[in-house]
A and B are shown apart, each in its own frame.
Chain A
Amino acid sequence: MTPEELAPLVRATVVDLAAPASPLADSYLVDTNFLFFCYYQRHSQLEDLGRGPSAYQTTAYPAYEERARVAGGRIGVTRGILVQFLHRIEGAELAILHATLDPEAVDREVWRPTKVIREMGHREARLDQVREEVLAQLAVVSANFTLLPDPPWTIPFAERLQEEWGRALIDATDAAFIADAWAWGILNIISDDAELSTVPDIRLYTANRTATQAARRAGRLA
């Protein structure tokens, strides 16, 4: 979606976190994509990340995280986001393991431990390495972020998710994330997902140019 197409749909207040004097908040929740850019060790290892259109992902977000931490901001992660993060990096690690064991193999979309074992033989020791990679990154996230348990729902989860889903152009996972944010009363969201700009009543801290340009056109850029 272009900024022009997104602009009429923007309902959030959008903060361009890549701007030098972008506003800070007392507390934030982070989305899975932020964790992936900043806390999946292998992502920030890729040599060409400093170039190209996605370079901002590993520059703007960590820079803003540092500013927020220096200012005393508390940065939280919900259990749903953390589980999604771990699942994605597990999938990437399994695919990398498979590519390492069989360089000629065709890439697959989804890798599961049983599939690696079935196709590659008994390589449990290598699967232990995958788990170690994932668990090490879980430990780092646990040490650096406030882990929020499931919130004390006052209405059934399904109703809450439905409410948030119906208010914005987001998928079910995002709707559950926003429902968690409301339950915790933390509506400052750090994310690279432009679709979250369609969520009313949140402040979206992003460096996504589509989101910031759309918000500027809509008069919703902080």
Chain B
Amino acid sequence: MAGADMVIRVAEESGIHCVSPDDGQRLFDRLHEALRVGKSVELDFAGVETVGPVFLNVAIGKLFGQSDAHVIEALLHWKNVTEVSERLLYLVIKNAKAHYQLSPEARVREGEIVRRALDSL
């Protein structure tokens, strides 16, 4: 994206293995602050070797619980993402948008379903 207000090199910010929630939280804090004041942000994933759902849920998914989805999608962009990681990114965003639109009761129900699947292991 040409002319983003801010470029964040994810490998420098979070390391080449982006799997932990702590790294995700640090990136979330930067993104949230930028989006809050209307800055556009480009995430550059060059050099990143591993991207996990926990990291993306915390760094990006949580944004949809804090800000309007249209604002996030207009201001947040990325590049140098592998095909698989981009597929995961879209999945995280799709599910985050749906998740934060649910009623509190429906979120609880979703959580119970997921936990039941885990308990059955």
Instruction: Show the binding face of A for B, using Cβ within 8 Å.
Output: 32-33, 36-48, 50, 58-59, 62-63, 65-66, 69-70, 84, 88-89, 91-92, 95-96, 99, 103, 107, 109, 133, 136-137, 139-140, 142-144, 193
Contact = CB atoms under 8 A, between A and B. Distances in A.
A41 B91 contact: yes
Interface string B1-31: 0000000000000011101111100000000
Contact of A136 (B58, B87, B116): B87
Interface string B43-76: 0000001111111111001000100000000000
Given A103-B106, A136-B88, A140-B88, A38 B19 contact: yes
A87 to B, nearest CB: 10
A123 B36 CA distance: 39
Dominant secondary structure at the A interface? helix
Closest 10 CB pairs of A and B: A92-B117, A41-B53, A44-B54, A69-B17, A143-B84, A62-B20, A95-B113, A44-B57, A62-B19, A66-B20
A46 B15 CA distance: 25
A48 B22 CA distance: 16
A133 B91 contact: yes
A89 B112 contact: no
A136 B54 CA distance: 15
B99 A45 contact: yes
16 contacts: A38-B54, A43-B118, A48-B111, A59-B20, A59-B21, A63-B21, A65-B17, A69-B19, A69-B49, A91-B117, A95-B113, A99-B106, A99-B113, A136-B87, A137-B53, A144-B51
Nearest to A63: B20
Contact of B52 (A59, A70, A133, A144): A144
A41 B23 contact: no
Contacts of B113: 92, 95-96, 99, 107
Nearest to B55: A62
Contacts of B22: 59, 63
Q: Is the interface of B mostly helix, strand, loop or mixed?
A: helix
A181 B16 CA distance: 28
B57 A45 contact: yes
Counting chain A CB atoms within 10 Å of each CB, which of B20, B65, B96, B107 scores highest?
B20
Nearest to A140: B88
Contacts of B80: none
Most B-side CB within 10 Å, residue of A44, A69, A139: A44
B15 A42 contact: no
A190 B109 CA distance: 29
A63 B54 CA distance: 10
A50 B120 CA distance: 21
A103 B54 CA distance: 27
Contact of B50 (A46, A69, A103): A69
Contacts of A38: 19, 52-54
